[in-house]
Amino acid sequence: MDNSSYAETGDAAWSALYITGGVAALMAVFVFRRNLGAELGLLSNLGIISGVPTTPLIRASDWFKLFQDNRLVGLTLMNLFDLVEYALLGLIFLALYGALRQTNRSAMVMATTSGLIGITVYFASNQAFAMLALSERYAAATTDAQRSIILAAGEALLAINNPEALYQGTGIYVSFFLVLLSGLIISIVMLRSDIFSKATAVVGILANGIGLCYFITLTFAPAIYWIPHPISAPFRVIWYFLIALRLFKLAKS
């Protein structure tokens, strides 16, 4: 195979990656949510769904009961859809690396590696399916001794990740920080490139920079730790959309 054939193959590979990343970014626009609990509460008040808890789910027994009452609500509150978003984000990061690798290769390698590590850590930390499996075993248990063992296992999982608790396990914080840091670095590289618009870069800086303020509020003002999420969410949705449009254009060029 001559050099021109190699170049054509490489161009086709990058084009396919850009299209994949663009589709993932568009899907992320619709999958991304930061306040599913409130949305579920609204649907419950309207009588559309049932089984939505009105108090925080702190103990394993609370989660087991929820999974038995409404499995979909339980998986949603256990952040099942975050797994989908993080998977899409991994594809977006890879496509952005391809688009920006010539602008600042070392920064993009660091950002992409950081983001993919954060995504991997989150997949290892999310306990949605593990809690569902334990709830099924708990419902099938026939003795108090069996239930006690399963409850203890559930409490151990909640120590790793309990979305209803104020403080999460270390893995959740590490993954969240690495993904936001990756997005911030990528946005700064965008600002210095001619590939993405300045608006895309600025929106990305706002989305990820405000998101990182979560750790500041959690440390120094835990009563308002939730505020950075709703502020950064609109910027993130717009960022995904602008990224998708640009990646589709790159795939055609």
Domain residues for the domain of 87 are: 3-252
Please tell me the predicted confidence (pLDDT) of residue 121: 96
Domain count along the chain? 1
Q: pLDDT (tens digit, 9 = 90+) per residue, 209-220?
A: 999 999 999 889
The long-range contacts involving 154-159, CB below 8 angstroms and separated by at least 24 positions, are: 154/60, 154/61, 154/63, 154/64, 155/59, 155/60, 157/60, 157/127, 157/130, 157/131, 158/59, 158/60, 158/63, 158/127, 158/131
Distance CA 35, CA 147 (A): 32
pLDDT at 201 over 90: yes
Taking the whole predicted model, whether its pTM rises above 0.85 is answered as yes
Residue 5 binned pLDDT confidence (cut-offs 50, 70, 90): very low
Q: pLDDT (tens digit, 9 = 90+) per residue, 23-75?
A: 999 999 887 765 555 555 555 554 556 666 777 788 999 999 999 988 888 89
- DSSP, residue by residue, 70-131: -HHHHHHHTTHHHHHHHHHHHHHHHHHHHHHTTT-HHHHHHHHHHHHHHHHHHHHH--HHHH
- The answer to whether 161 and 173 are in contact (CB under 8 A) is no
- The answer to whether 18 and 99 are in contact (CB under 8 A) is yes
Mean pLDDT value across residues 166-174: 88
Radius of gyration of the chain (CA): 21
